[in-house]
Amino acid sequence: MGVPLSGRRVALERLRRQHLPALYEIATADGVNDGWPLCGRTMDPVEFETYLWRQSSVQFAMVRQDSGEPIGLVQGVSEDLRSGAVDIAVVVAPRLWRAGWPLEGVVLFADYLFSGLGYRKLYFSMPGSVRRRVGRAVDAILALECTLTRHVLIDGDYEDLSVFSLHRDRWDTGLFSQVTGRIVPPGVRDRVADSDRA
Amino acid sequence: MRRGDVVPRDAEWVAVVLERWDRSRRLSLRGRTPSPTMVAGLLGEAVTAQNAVWTDDGFPVALLQVTNVNSRDGTGELALLADAEHTEATSQLLADFLSEVFDREPLRKLCIWAVEDELDVPSYLGSLACPVGRLVGHERRGPDRYADMLVYEIWEEDVT
């Protein structure tokens, strides 16, 4: 596809069966189960695998560069090929929620969707508790386009669901480099991660 | 004007008007050709409640749906397909439909999504529809031309 799938600390690997045990543990963990991707559902690991494949045709496990350990999942859902828009869904291991570096996987995925697959617009939906956790970075980079008020039930309270967007025009101005702090030299984008080539 | 249950043969007129009438996101063809399976799916999949609206002499003028209900969050999607020639009468029956649905179902609110050149939501829902968002440049209309998608909420306490 010609876009990098490896960052400084995170790499994207196309979702495979070997990733699923770790991702199942993450998705069913306390504090995660109510959110994406299970949204409160209970399922066994076999059902989980089928469920993930039904949700998305473009998804990657986020893994640590140093160990290969899966730390989360990024998915493109509700793909709208006609209008060139897609929603990004993310789940990260709870123990890493306070660490900023896993978001590098989201940035890599966004670049894959824009530069690799040619999408024009990305959407990110997040409840208030997640928005607070991610912090001001969200408001600085993304555009808030919709707030569904008191929309999702989390820990007994109804939270707003904010829908943010990111246009490719903004990405092409060099946002990737600004966000990651990396200048991508000519030719690097032609390099494909070994895991993607396999 | 009257409203009532949707029956399988209603798929015939729905297929004809899908591209012509005012329509919300769910009932927008978006350039596709409506196969019988597709129309049957629109009338049957993920639908919690639906009514058709007819004139007194039996001509259909609207399809009203509550779909994609999330019982945990108490939310759902309102879908609307309506002949713009009968907006006022449809809106009155739509309000009755919503009142019935909120009474019967464990719903707190409904959302309706519509491309701005496909449905003028306030003309059918008036002050019941609270605008909560605009997805800028969402829907393709041609090379480098896009229309916005508008999002509204309808709350149970405003309807009942």
* Angle of helix B10-17 versus helix B36-44 axis, rounded to 10: 110
Per-residue pLDDT, averaged over B111-132, amounts to: 97
pLDDT above 70 covers a percentage of chain A that reads 87
Flag whether pLDDT at A44 surpasses 80: yes
Write the DSSP assignment of B123-150 as a string of letters.
HHHGGGPEEEEEEEEEEEEETTEEEEEE
Percent of chain B past pLDDT 70, that is, above it, reads: 100
Could you give phi then psi for residue A191, rounded to 5 degrees? -85, 135
The first and second tokens of residue B155, run together, are 């709350």
Write the CA distances from A68 to A42, A62, A72, B70, B127, integer angstroms.
27, 9, 12, 36, 54
User: Is the backbone of residue A35 left (phi > 0), alpha (psi -120 to 50) or beta?
Assistant: beta
When comparing pLDDT for B19 and B134, which is higher? B134
How sure is the predictor about A195, in pLDDT bands with cuts at 50, 70 and 90?
A: very low
Q: Per-residue pLDDT for B18 more than 50?
A: yes
B117 and chain A in contact, CB less than 8 A: no
B72 touches chain A (CB under 8 A): yes
pLDDT, position A178: 67
Amino acid at B76: G
A171–chain B nearest CA distance, Å: 16
> What is the H or E stretch that residue A111 is in?
helix A103-111
pLDDT at B115: 97
pLDDT > 50? residue A143: yes
Residue A193 to residue B153: CA distance in whole angstroms: 44
pLDDT band at A38 (very low <50, low <70, confident <90, very high): confident
What local confidence, expressed as pLDDT, does residue A180 receive? 62
Q: Do B72 and A39 touch (CB under 8 A)?
A: yes
Establish if B158 touches chain A: CB-CB under 8 angstroms: no
Inter-chain contact B135–A84, Cβ cutoff 8 Å? no
Answer whether residue A189 shows pLDDT above 50.
no
**Residues in CB range of B88: below 8 A, 6 or more apart:** none
Cut 0.80: pTM above it: yes
